[in-house]
Amino acid sequence: MKKQEKLLRNVSIVLGLASTAFFVIDYFIFTRLRPKMVSFEAVSPAEEGLMNWVGISLLSFLAFCLLSLFQLAKFLKNARKITPFSLFLIVSGVLSLLFIFGDVALISDIGKQYKHGLAQPEWLMLYLVMVFQFITTIVFTYLHFFGFSKEKQVKHITRDSNIFLVVQYVGVICGLMGLTSSSLRFLFPGATLQVHIVMSLIILLMPYALVVGYWLITKLQEEHRQWYDEKQIQDIGRSAFLTLVLSIILMAVGFITNYSNLGGVVSLLWFPLYLFSVLLFFSLGNLYLTGKD
């Protein structure tokens, strides 16, 4: 094992063990704070200070997620095939990364509602999200110890076929979450702010940007660079045409159904809807055409 690979593995293991411990600590912190906040009892400055540990734990988990997804991409690049378990790892890793920002938003909402004497239903969602992240941490930490073995890899595979597929899977996840998030904002137009839309765009596109960036780096490192093989070029062309048709239909439906209020929330959401729908349709099309032949 090369020194760099060994260092990444060791750092990932340390972050995984730290994140696991931090999630346990977070649980006890929430167990202490939640009863007081739900019953609107006074929270001491020392107890408020405990939330700093929650912030540290999320930063640790953020670094762990990024390293784990990087290690997973390196492994899948030369894996014999992308298995259902590999898909589970991609989905759980990307979702866990995105949910970190959800954790911050939920904790912020809980704090604001406590200060204003309002109910705090977000506690349940916060627990569920962190349980999911805790399980993801355990799985990836185990894989850093034993799972990412070069014995399961091959030296020669179809040109970047695995990384090409990984990009499409991440595109589907980000596109679907972005499209769902943007669509739900029509139900709560009063709570839709420009800053929230911009932050959602940045956060939900981050995993896709990272995996595309990794693909670009691997391409730039090739001595005899070929961006796509013939089949990938054909699939991309067909997917692009399909995306054009479906995105036009979707935007036309949005325009017609909101024709009487085009200056309202639709004026803020048209770009996120278009962007995430294009990403979703294009990625789905590539996956379908790749698996069809």
Can you tell me the distance from the alpha carbon of 166 to that of 172, in angstroms, rounded to the nearest whole number? 10
The answer on 141 and 273 residing in a single domain is no
Mean pLDDT score, 152-156: 53
- Give the domain extent around 1: 1-152
The answer on 85 and 197 residing in a single domain is no
Residue where a domain stops, chosen among 121, 152, 183: 152
Measure the CA angle with vertex 12, ends 133 and 148; round to 5°: 90
Q: How many domains does the chain have?
A: 2
Mean pLDDT score, 184-199: 66
The answer on 56 and 5 residing in a single domain is yes
What is the model's pLDDT at position 134? 95
Sign of CA dihedral 52, 55, 61, 63: negative
What is the model's pLDDT at position 152? 54
The answer on 289 and 175 residing in a single domain is yes
Mean pLDDT score, 167-174: 91
The answer on 192 and 137 residing in a single domain is no
What is the model's pLDDT at position 86? 87
Q: Is the pLDDT of residue 79 over 70?
A: yes
Neighbours of 154 (CB within 10 A): 10
Can you tell me the distance from the alpha carbon of 101 to that of 97, in angstroms, rounded to the nearest whole number? 8
What is the model's pLDDT at position 233? 78
Q: Is the pLDDT of residue 157 over 70?
A: no
pLDDT digits (tens, 9 = 90+) for 47-60: 888 888 999 999 99
- What is the crossing angle of helices 51-77 and 84-115, to 10°? 160
The answer on 1 and 144 residing in a single domain is yes
Residue where a domain stops, chosen among 98, 122, 152: 152
pLDDT category of residue 224 using cuts at 50, 70 and 90 = low
Q: Is the pLDDT of residue 234 over 60?
A: yes
Which of 64-68, 107-111, 142-146, 216-220 has the weakest average pLDDT?
216-220
The answer on 267 and 134 residing in a single domain is no
Q: Comparing 191 with 203, which gets the higher pLDDT? A: 203
What is the model's pLDDT at position 264? 66
**Under 8 Å between Cβ of 141 and 253:** no
Residue where a domain stops, chosen among 102, 130, 152: 152
pLDDT category of residue 119 using cuts at 50, 70 and 90 = confident
What is the model's pLDDT at position 225? 64
pLDDT digits (tens, 9 = 90+) for 16-51: 999 999 999 999 999 988 988 888 888 888 888 888
The answer on 135 and 176 residing in a single domain is no
Mean pLDDT, the chain, integer = 83
Q: What is the DSSP letter of 151?
A: G
The answer on 177 and 136 residing in a single domain is no
The answer on 148 and 7 residing in a single domain is yes
- The residues, any chain, with a CB within 8 Å of residue 101's CB and separated by 6 or more, are 203
Q: 88 to each of 44, 92, 114, 169, how far by Cα in Å? A: 42, 6, 37, 11
What is the model's pLDDT at position 109? 85
Q: What is the DSSP letter of 147?
A: I
Q: Is the pLDDT of residue 150 over 60?
A: no
Q: Token pair for residue 77?
A: 């690049």
